[in-house]
Chain A
Amino acid sequence: MNRPEDSRPVGQRGPEIVVAAVLAVLALLVIKDSLRVGTGWGDDGPRSGYFPFYIGSMLLGASAWILLRQVLTWATTKAVFAERSQIASVFSVLWPMVVHVALIAPLGIYLASVLLIAWFMRRHGKYRAAPTAAVALGVPLLFFLIFERWFLVPLPKGPLERLLGF
């Protein structure tokens, strides 16, 4: 795994191309559906695709321009997107977020958040069990009281809350 090129920073060119390409694809989707619903005039005025068609075309134009410029200046672009270690730490936050969101449906938002806070404090803060448990249980409990009790805004709940009769 520790090949020498792994320590090199990630260049700006790759992400630049990917983002512009994604925007171009979105633009094509907008244009395609605008054509489907009609970009011209109906009996009662402009049809649904009239305005989005221009929007899609302009988005396509702008992203094509960004892509083209990036390709033309390919050899001279030396800008750095981020260091490998920085990308690693971004991922170390991103994947717990994804897991957190995925767990909200089966476990409820409160239990999922207990796990999220506990994981963060143990993994990134190197906290001992006692302070971790205090914050990880205390904060969701406080939010439970605020939302379910005081503001009466129901948030997603799971089997634990059902067991406790909520």
Chain B
Amino acid sequence: MDELQNLMHGFSVALTLPNLGFMAVGIVLGVLIGVLPGLGGANGVAILLPLTFSMNPTSAIIMLSCIYWGALFGGAITSILFNIPGEPWSVATTFDGHPMAQQGKAAQALTAAFTSSFVGALFAVMLITFLAPLLARFALKFGPAEFFAVQLLTFCSFVGMSKEPAAKTIASMMLGFALAAVGMDTVTGQLRMTYGVTELLKGFDFLIAVIGLFGIGEILLTMEEGLAFKGRSARITSRAVWDTWTDIFKYWRTFLRSTAVGCWMGITPGGATPASFMSYGLARRLSKNPQAFGKGEIQGVIAPETAAHAAGTAALLPMLTLGIPGSPTAAVLLGGLLIWGLQPGPMLFIEQKDFVWGLIASMYIGNLVGLIVVLTTVPWWAAILRIPFAVIAPVIIFVCAIGAYTVHSSMFDVVMMLVFGVAGYFFKKLKYPLAPLVLALVLGDMAEASFRQAMLLSQGSLSIFWANPLVGSIAGLALVLLLWPLVGVAQSHYRAREGRA
């Protein structure tokens, strides 16, 4: 078993004292980010990314991915105790988690949530361990046409699977591509879309967009809702943990199903948020007493948390093997790889063994450390949430400004952060999805390069996208996903006609 040997080597990289330290720092920062409004996995990692430019890439990715795990854990705390989802993927957790807290079962709900997160992540990491090398070996055969087809698949599945109107998904995605195209054309060196503005020569950095869209935009939304934190306090005793653990594993079917949903949604860029809703819905539909859901049913906590964490973890599989992130946070981590001078994609598994396997090993350890940290420190995080918004908000704005400035040491970026913040507010209010914008902004240059290379090979003929069975089936699947919403439209049309007849 090559993979096990590699994994053991990974553990020897991850288990060094400095890396364990970075892991602990990452987890604590991540939970903090997950708990605070306005800071989430994606923009939290984006703000901290510049601090890691001088670090060794392996330690840097270990720390940043641990921030991601921490944020995934942290979202559950606010959902259950305060009925405020700290992250979009923990919305479904509030449905049953908060009622449990109101019934005085906060400790059970939190333990169930954290344990489910851990189980979901563990399965997803095992999937990465065994599937990623295979996928990477397979992807080594990919040419530019195949890579573009996979990217097309990614973006088409956004259109097909998102709940938002297709036109808005496409608009948001194309805006991302357009912003990515601004500045120097990497192939010909030609300047484009700068309209004489020197600051635009470098183009738009996705880190700035992420900090603005998710950070500043979120603050504006929170302010509009006029949040008043009224939460339950909780202390988790070891007895409550033990009782919950002996109780919840009888729901192993829910765990398995939710993990499967989560892994699937993470690898295809559905992401953690739809995964959590889908898994909650499935758990309710397949339950013996569905009417208990929404009133404090423990399965209603297990299902979305397992799926969200599995999806969040599985999102790193396509990022590492194909260079295509499955979620906005994975997209920011991908941007980190490029900045540290690593080329994401199948070659990573051959040229950067330490990095890849150190990261994968750190996922096992990081999630275990995370589970222990959150189980023991819940009262502190609950206390942080009691700090009034009037104090937290300006500090978060300050942190966002620092984050935006440090990317290129440029004031123009700070101004752009505000512009993206206002845009993010309007996009969220009008239901334009933000994830496709961020992914398109990150992948724009790569997608353009592979498209142009493919066109060069075929002398401008689109037929290269069905020239062989491999690229043809990927491109075909992409078209099916793109046209999926039309099936729904046709169906409802048909039903309406049936109803009339």
Interface set of A (CB-CB < 8 Å, partner B): 12, 15-16, 19-20, 23, 26-27, 29-30, 33-34, 36-37, 41-42, 44-52, 55-56, 58-59, 61-63, 65-66, 69, 81-82, 86-87, 89-90, 92-94, 96-98, 100-101, 104-105, 109, 113, 116-117, 119-121, 123-125, 127, 135, 139-140, 143, 147, 151, 153-156
Contact = CB atoms under 8 A, between A and B. Distances in A.
A81 B174 CA distance: 24
Contacts of B239: none
B207 to A, nearest CB: 15
* Residue in A12, A100, A119, A127 with the greatest tally of chain B CB atoms within 10 Å: A100
B2 to A, nearest CB: 39
Interface of B: 50-51, 165, 167-168, 170-171, 174-175, 177-178, 181, 185, 187-188, 190-193, 195, 216, 219-220, 223-226, 388-391, 393-395, 397-398, 401-402, 405-406, 409, 411, 414-415, 418, 421-422, 425-427, 429-430, 432, 448, 451-452, 455-456, 460
A66 B193 contact: no
Contacts of B425: 90
Contacts of A100: 397-398, 401
A104 B224 contact: no
* Residue in B390, B393, B430 with the greatest tally of chain A CB atoms within 10 Å: B390
B187 A48 contact: yes
A82 B224 contact: yes
Nearest to A12: B430
A143 B455 contact: no
A55 B452 contact: no
A156 B415 CA distance: 14
A135 B392 CA distance: 10
A143 B47 CA distance: 14
B389 A153 contact: no
A37 B192 CA distance: 7
Given A89-B226, A135-B391, A139-B395, A151 B51 contact: yes
B170 A62 contact: yes
B418 A101 contact: yes
A99 to B, nearest CB: 11
Contact of A155 (B178, B187, B402, B421): B402
Contacts of B426: 15, 19
Which 4 pairs from chain A and chain B are nearest by CB? A125-B390, A59-B174, A62-B171, A124-B390
B178 A47 contact: no
A80 B367 CA distance: 42
Contacts of A97: 216, 397, 418, 421
B402 A147 contact: yes
A123 B388 CA distance: 13
A46 B389 contact: no
Contacts of B456: 45-46
Contacts of A101: 401, 414-415, 418
Contact of A51 (B389, B414, B451): B451
A29 B197 CA distance: 14
A36 to B, nearest CB: 8
Contacts of B395: 117, 139
B418 A15 contact: no
Given A109-B401, A151-B51, A27 B219 contact: no
A105 B452 contact: no
A20 B431 CA distance: 12
B422 to A, nearest CB: 7
B460 A82 contact: no
A155 B190 contact: no
B177 A55 contact: yes
Contacts of A119: 394
A30 B178 contact: yes
16 contacts: A26-B178, A41-B460, A46-B452, A47-B190, A48-B188, A62-B171, A66-B165, A89-B226, A93-B223, A93-B393, A98-B418, A113-B398, A116-B394, A116-B398, A121-B394, A139-B395
Nearest to A59: B174
Contact of B398 (A45, A61, A66, A117): A117
B224 to A, nearest CB: 4
Contacts of A20: 171
Given A59-B171, A135-B391, A45 B452 contact: yes
Contacts of A81: 429-430
A48 B427 CA distance: 29
A3 B431 CA distance: 31
Nearest to A53: B181
Contacts of B397: 97, 100, 116
B455 A45 contact: yes
A59 B167 CA distance: 9
A93 B391 CA distance: 13
A27 B393 CA distance: 34
Given A100-B397, A101-B415, A89 B223 contact: yes
A66 B432 CA distance: 11
B178 A27 contact: yes
Contacts of A15: 426, 429-430
Contacts of B394: 96, 113, 116-117, 119-121
Contacts of B460: 41, 46
Nearest to B432: A19
A81 B429 CA distance: 7
B216 A55 contact: no
Given A37-B191, A123-B390, A153-B51, 11 more contacts: A19-B426, A45-B456, A48-B192, A56-B174, A56-B178, A62-B168, A66-B165, A66-B171, A94-B422, A155-B405, A156-B405
Nearest to A16: B430
Contacts of A155: 402, 405-406
A105 B414 CA distance: 11
Given A15-B430, A104-B401, A55 B418 contact: no
A98 B397 CA distance: 11
Contact of A59 (B178, B193, B452): B178
Contacts of B415: 101
